């Protein structure tokens, strides 16, 4: 099961990428001498558009084969049967095992997928603090 980013969050990253790309094109066309800073705008635009593409394709979380995985460059994987503690505070779920901790920001999750995530987390045989 895949848990998606919210559409608002994805659109914001797309908007920022397009905005930076527009700024890069305008600065490239209006200034006569080409400076290194013009390429800086293109790099920022590429990063935001890359974030948008990656988040759209790979989603926020994957729950498969008894594991929950946060997708991303520094993503973590936790086995569901190893979770010792489950905590909900200020819109974040914190899942802890003996060796690792995973924090899930529910404000980044699409509302329909949030219900799926909650149903999975409710089935965990852990006391909620």
The predicted pLDDT at position 75 comes to 86
Q: Is the pLDDT of residue 128 over 60?
A: no
Long-range contacts of residues 58-64, Cβ cutoff 8 Å, at least 24 apart: 59/2, 59/3, 59/4, 59/5, 60/3, 60/4, 60/5, 60/108, 60/109, 61/2, 61/3, 61/104, 61/109, 61/117, 62/1, 62/2, 62/3, 63/1, 63/2, 63/3, 63/117, 63/120, 64/1
* Region 14-42 average pLDDT: 86
Tally of domains within the chain: 2
Residues 75 and 113 occupy one common structural domain: yes
The predicted pLDDT at position 54 comes to 95
| Residue 127, in any domain of the structure | no
- DSSP letter at 84 equals -
Mean pLDDT taken over the chain? 90
For the chain, percent of residues with pLDDT exceeding 70: 98
Confidence of residue 127 (pLDDT cuts 50, 70, 90): low
Q: Is the pLDDT of residue 27 over 80?
A: yes
pTM over 0.85: no
Count of Cβ atoms closer than 10 Å to residue 54 Cβ: 14
**Which of 41, 58, 75 corresponds to the end of one domain?**
58
For the chain, percent of residues with pLDDT exceeding 90: 70
The residue range of the domain holding 37 is: 2-58
């Amino acid at each position: 099961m895949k848990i998606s980013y919210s559409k608002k969050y994805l659109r914001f990253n797309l908007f920022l990428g397009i905005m930076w790309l527009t700024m890069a094109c305008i600065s490239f066309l209006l200034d006569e001498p080409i400076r290194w800073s013009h390429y800086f705008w293109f790099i920022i635009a590429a990063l935001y558009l890359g974030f948008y593409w990656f988040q759209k394709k790979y989603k926020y979380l994957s729950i498969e084969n008894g594991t929950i995985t946060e997708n991303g460059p520094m993503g973590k994987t936790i086995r569901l049967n190893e979770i010792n503690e489950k905590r909900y505070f200020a819109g974040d779920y914190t899942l802890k095992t003996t060796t690792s901790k995973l924090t899930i920001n529910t404000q980044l999750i699409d509302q329909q997928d949030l219900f799926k995530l909650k149903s999975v987390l409710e089935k965990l045989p852990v006391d909620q603090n």
